[in-house]
């Protein structure tokens, strides 16, 4: 099936909704902030507390949903402690590692129908959350983009993601420039249609965005600021092979048919 572009509502990073523009009389639809974690005992308590304190000032009704996948340290004990101290912090635990599996489970477990994903290390400005949540009033998916914003990351990561984005545009024709896990926002009704395509790993992001884009979903991309200098939780070589392999498979399954 060939992709028809006439019915798409693609927007670019021109939209810059700052939290300072949110008014007291605005309608704030409840959101779930989804955070997948793997062995994050060193940062989880401090970062979730910092995130909750921030959300208390910008969004009246929210849930923070911690999704542990295969953690073998004290991550779950800390998640339980955070839940005991703050009923807005919820959690679940999966026995095997897999961020995609955790996200698929999170779609059903989220308390609210608008889901914003962030990384546990909070390396992207938390300002993305209220900006994206507000844009979900109009759009099905919000893509936070480091490339159109600012980023302080290792050269290896920048070059790797740049190569992947180039191949995505070449093979799939997608106009967006960030397919990482964090800094994305979704309406649950939209992504639930593609739950069957979510595998165990991080490729679920491009799988969802591409399939939704082909079917005319309204998607907007906005700039984010990212400062990420800590060592990745992923084996970068393995992750690169996995993502490029899945990209090629997606091209074979969809574009060529």
CATH of the domain spanning 9-15+26-255: 3.90.550.10
**pLDDT value of residue 217:** 97
Positions in the chain short of pLDDT 50: 1-20, 24
**pLDDT value of residue 2:** 40
**pLDDT value of residue 254:** 85
**pLDDT value of residue 168:** 95
For Cα atoms 61, 65, 70, give the angle at the middle one, nearest 5 degrees. Answer: 175
Q: At what angle do helices 236-250 and 204-214 cross, to 10 degrees?
A: 20
Predicted confidence (pLDDT) per residue in 105-154, tens digit: 999 999 999 999 999 999 999 999 999 999 999 999 999 999 888 888 77
């Amino acid at each position: 099936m060939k992709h028809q572009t006439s019915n798409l509502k693609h927007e670019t990073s021109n939209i810059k909704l700052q939290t300072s523009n949110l008014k007291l009389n605005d309608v704030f639809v409840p959101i779930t902030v989804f955070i997948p974690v793997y062995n994050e005992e060193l940062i989880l308590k401090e970062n979730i507390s910092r995130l909750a304190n921030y959300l208390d000032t910008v969004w009246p009704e929210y849930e923070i949903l911690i999704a542990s996948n295969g953690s073998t340290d004290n991550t779950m004990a800390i998640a339980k402690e955070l839940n005991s101290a703050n009923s807005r912090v919820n959690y679940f635990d999966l026995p095997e590692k897999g961020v995609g599996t955790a996200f698929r489970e999170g779609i059903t477990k989220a308390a609210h129908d608008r889901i914003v994903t962030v990384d546990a290390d909070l390396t992207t400005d938390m300002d993305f959350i209220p900006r994206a949540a507000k844009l979900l009033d109009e759009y099905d998916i919000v893509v936070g983009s480091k490339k159109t914003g600012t980023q302080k990351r290792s050269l290896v990561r920048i070059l790797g993601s740049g190569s992947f984005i180039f191949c995505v545009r070449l093979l799939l024709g997608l106009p967006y420039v960030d397919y990482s896990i964090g800094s994305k926002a979704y309406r649950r009704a939209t992504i639930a249609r593609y739950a069957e395509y979510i595998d165990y790993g991080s490729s679920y992001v491009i799988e969802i965005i591409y399939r939704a884009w082909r079917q005319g979903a309204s998607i907007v991309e906005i700039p984010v600021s990212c400062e990420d200098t800590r060592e990745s939780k992923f084996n970068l070589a393995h992750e690169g092979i996995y993502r490029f392999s899945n990209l090629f498979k997606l091209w074979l399954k969809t574009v060529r048919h």
